[in-house]
Amino acid sequence: MKKLLMPTIAALVLLSGCATTQETLNPDTAQAEPIPAINDFPTRDRVEYVLECVAKHGGLSYINQYACGCKVDKIAEKLNFSEYESAKTFTQMQKTPGEAGAAFRDPKQSKDLRTRLKDADAEAEKACFVN
């Protein structure tokens, strides 16, 4: 009976750890505060980015896949997902002609986010050896 009980207890301990969030104790308030997410990109968006990158850089190979995965990680270090998503939208929609595209081209926020994305992309390309 003890042989069956130990794996079950160990499994429960491991599984319960997966369902909790990390917390730190704030010395000023002595209350637990959640640690902010360092990297909040959803898996679906990471996969989409890697597939687009691989297609742009010569097709699916281990080297391209690894480099593009590295690249999205580096971009995620520079921009949170909300900033990335906005910058990507502004970049795609700035090509809209006339007054309709002005809302995506002209605002300072649009220019700043597009520049940050472009800079993060360039740094990531160098760091990850994307060809």
Mean pLDDT value of segment 110-116: 93
pLDDT for res 33? 56
Both structure tokens of 128: 């990850």
Using alpha carbons, select from 34, 63, 64 the residue that is nearest to residue 50.
64
Q: Is residue 109 part of a domain?
A: yes
Q: Is residue 19 part of a domain?
A: no
- Total domain count, the chain: 1
Range of the domain at 69: 43-128
Please count the helices (runs of H) and the strands (runs of E) in the chain.
6, 2
Q: Is residue 67 part of a domain?
A: yes
pLDDT for res 72? 95
pLDDT tier for residue 27 given thresholds of 50, 70 and 90: low
Whether 20 has a pLDDT exceeding 70, the answer reads no
Instruction: Please tell me the pTM assigned to this model.
Output: 0.66
Q: Is residue 98 part of a domain?
A: yes
Whether 30 has a pLDDT exceeding 90, the answer reads no
Mean pLDDT value of segment 109-125: 94
* Residue 123 Cα distances to 17, 52, 59, angstroms: 36, 18, 22
Tens digit of each residue's pLDDT (9 = 90 or more) over 89-105: 999 998 898 888 888 88
pLDDT tier for residue 111 given thresholds of 50, 70 and 90: very high
Q: Is residue 7 part of a domain?
A: no
Whether 66 has a pLDDT exceeding 70, the answer reads yes
